[in-house]
């Protein structure tokens, strides 16, 4: 693999992807980001097995290929390049060589075959929302979710459809927060439960972005697609306590 890209765009994508990497000692591959260069595009992927992200960047591909490196190491190095506009990434002797006009570094790579693929959610149930409305709903309630995972439904955020509103709810059984967002046109869907830790990362990934996000729902996964960003999260199989909407029996 060998590519040339704009440092600022690469830094922004790596920052989003690195947040979703795991800090696993037993599975070091989960600490990595996978870089896949082909057809003038660099695809950056990371996952902690609970949440996954894929970001596409337009780049100059000199040699197609894939390489997996520790996300925090690459992210910190790219973020520290203050005097360079362009970056070259090149696989060299089992490592990733990162070069600019003023510096270069070698970063250890990991076997790409060990990198887990992130789920692809079908478009069986597809919805479109203003991304700022969705983030506003999440931010209004996520603080009320339980930090304990003993009761998964309480350590999650409920998203449900009711008439012309989308309802966001979270509770730790001592307090409850609810936010209703008025949506003129949307398809009805059944309630979903998203782990609150995943919601926090979804907020960070899309905060500050304007436009429409496409939401895909399946029995076990939810995916968010905005331009060149794809995020997928596990959905909790459970019943949220005390909340009844028009559609409250699960997908």
Whether the CB-CB separation of 34 and 75 falls below 8 Å is answered with no
Let me know whether 208 and 141 are in one domain: yes
> Which of 65, 88, 114 delimits the end of a domain?
114
CATH code where residue 174 lies: 3.10.150.10
Let me know whether 80 and 180 are in one domain: no
Rounded distance between C-alpha atoms, residue 183 and residue 66, angstroms: 42
55 pLDDT higher than 80: yes
Let me know whether 221 and 131 are in one domain: yes
Task: Please give the C-alpha separations between residue 26 and each of 30, 94, 156, in angstroms, as whole numbers.
Answer: 9, 21, 26
HEC profile of 49-68:
CCEEEEEEEECEEEECEEEE
Let me know whether 89 and 183 are in one domain: no
Share of the chain above pLDDT 70, in %: 94
Mean of pLDDT values over 8-15: 94
Rounded distance between C-alpha atoms, residue 120 and residue 217, angstroms: 11
pLDDT at position 187 is: 65
- Determine the 3-state secondary structure of 15 from DSSP: helix
At 44, list the tokens: 């950056």
245 pLDDT higher than 80: no
What residues are paired with 176 via a beta bridge?
171
pLDDT at position 235 is: 92
Rounded distance between C-alpha atoms, residue 217 and residue 36, angstroms: 26
Residue 239 lies in a domain: no
pLDDT digits (tens, 9 = 90+) for 20-50: 999 878 899 999 999 999 999 999 999 999 9
Let me know whether 89 and 151 are in one domain: no
pLDDT at position 67 is: 97
pLDDT at position 195 is: 94
The structure's pTM equals 0.89
Number of domains within the chain: 2
pLDDT digits (tens, 9 = 90+) for 101-150: 888 899 999 999 999 999 998 876 788 888 888 899 999 999 999 998 88
Residue 81 lies in a domain: yes
Task: Please give the C-alpha separations between residue 237 and each of 13, 93, 159, 215, in angstroms, as whole numbers.
Answer: 31, 45, 13, 18
Rounded distance between C-alpha atoms, residue 250 and residue 24, angstroms: 32
Let me know whether 95 and 161 are in one domain: no
Classify each residue of 32-52 as buried b or exposed e, where b means 16 or more C-beta atoms within 10 Å of its C-beta: bbbbbbeeeebbbbbbbeebb
Residue 242 lies in a domain: no
pLDDT at position 247 is: 44
Residue 248 lies in a domain: no
> Which of 114, 138, 167 delimits the end of a domain?
114
Residue 250 lies in a domain: no
List, in order, residues 6 or more apart from 226 with CB less than 8 Å away. 131, 206, 209, 211, 212, 213, 214
pLDDT digits (tens, 9 = 90+) for 150-192: 888 899 999 988 777 889 999 998 999 999 988 765 666 778 8
Residue 241 lies in a domain: no
Let me know whether 147 and 99 are in one domain: no
Let me know whether 61 and 40 are in one domain: yes
Let me know whether 155 and 217 are in one domain: yes
> Which of 191, 231, 170 has the alpha carbon at shortest distance from 47?
231
Q: Containing domain of residue 150, as a range?
A: 125-234
Mean of pLDDT values over 75-104: 91
Let me know whether 74 and 28 are in one domain: yes
Let me know whether 104 and 136 are in one domain: no
Let me know whether 46 and 138 are in one domain: no
pLDDT at position 249 is: 41
Rounded distance between C-alpha atoms, residue 184 and residue 21, angstroms: 37
């Amino acid at each position: 693999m060998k590519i040339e890209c704009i440092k600022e765009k690469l830094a922004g994508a790596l920052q989003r992807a690195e947040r979703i990497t795991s800090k696993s000692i037993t599975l070091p591959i989960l600490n990595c980001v996978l870089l896949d260069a082909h057809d003038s595009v660099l695809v950056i992927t990371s996952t902690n097995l609970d949440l996954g992200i894929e970001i596409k960047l337009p780049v100059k591909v000199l040699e197609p290929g894939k390489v997996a490196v520790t996300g925090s190491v690459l992210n910190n190095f790219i973020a520290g390049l203050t005097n360079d506009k362009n970056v070259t990434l090149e696989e060299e002797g089992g490592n990733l060589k990162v070069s600019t006009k003023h510096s270069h570094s070698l970063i250890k790579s990991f076997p790409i075959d060990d990198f887990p693929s992130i789920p692809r959610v079908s478009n069986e149930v597809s919805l479109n929302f203003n991304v700022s409305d969705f983030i506003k709903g999440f931010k209004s309630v996520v603080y009320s979710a339980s930090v304990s995972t003993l009761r998964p439904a309480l350590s999650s955020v409920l998203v449900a459809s009711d008439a012309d509103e989308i309802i966001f709810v979270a509770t730790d059984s001592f307090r409850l927060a609810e936010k209703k967002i008025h949506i003129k046109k949307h398809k009805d869907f059944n309630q979903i439960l998203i782990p609150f830790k995943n919601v926090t990362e979804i907020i960070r990934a899309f905060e500050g972005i304007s436009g429409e996000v496409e939401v895909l729902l399946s029995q076990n996964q939810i995916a968010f697609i905005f331009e060149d960003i794809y995020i997928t999260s596990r959905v909790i199989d459970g019943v949220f306590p005390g909340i009844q909407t028009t559609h409250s029996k699960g997908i």
